[in-house]
Amino acid sequence: MALAYLLGKGASKALHTKINIPILLVLSILPDIDILSEFLFNHPIHRGPTHSIIVALLIFLPFFVIYRKKAIPYFLGLISHSLIGDFIAGGQLRLLWPLSQAEFGLHELGFPIIKVGSQTEILLELSLFVIATLVLIISKDWRVFFKGRLSNLVLIIPITTVLLPSTIGYPFNESLLITEPILALAHIFYAALFSIAILTTLKTLYQRWFGKKDNKKPDNHTNQPTIKTPYQFEK
């Protein structure tokens, strides 16, 4: 998510477009939806079709046609998951599926493998988190999470699929609080920030839908407009 935010932010600046940060963050984790198939059906397809650049291009083709350059930051946020994050850590990506079953990654190019969960990978994640947080603060993008925007509700997805499960340990074997407490703090930070955004939006919607309305009739004596005489206008 930090990587997608940095790339999307940079692209939006270069292209002079605006970005919806919550949607950008959700797009960054969508490739890992294949974990559900592996978890539910015991079918190992992780880092397969959903990590394919070909699939990403096909999905975004109508968005490029409709929104043109405005879609570029979101496309970068989506493919950053595979082309940068997973390419560096772990590899074994079928980036050209279905045209090719070949696997790609830093390790496949002959470099030492960086395993997910290794100290090197965790250091890279923490570095990205710190940089992204600083940019979030300096650019004042953090204010987005305190506004009652409907798009903030999509942040339920990363909270329930990534942040809370990895922090508390379910359905994983162990909690990050035990294995990597420093990295868990980053997860808790995002979970808290996203929760604030969701609650703020729900509060705004509640007030909009069920808030008290002023049904009082206007006072005919006090609310009538004052009619000026020609003398008053001249004066």
Q: What pLDDT was estimated at residue 172?
A: 66
Q: What pLDDT was estimated at residue 215?
A: 53
Yes or no: say if 185 and 176 are a contact pair by the CB < 8 Å rule: no
pLDDT band at 234 (very low <50, low <70, confident <90, very high): very low
Q: What pLDDT was estimated at residue 233?
A: 36
Q: What would the DSSP string read from start to end of 79-121?
A: HHIIIIIIHHBT--B-TTTTT----BSTGGGTSPPB-TTSHHH
Residue 232 has pLDDT above 50, yes or no: no
The answer for residues whose C-beta is within 8 angstroms of residue 166's C-beta and 6 or more apart is 172, 175, 176, 184, 187
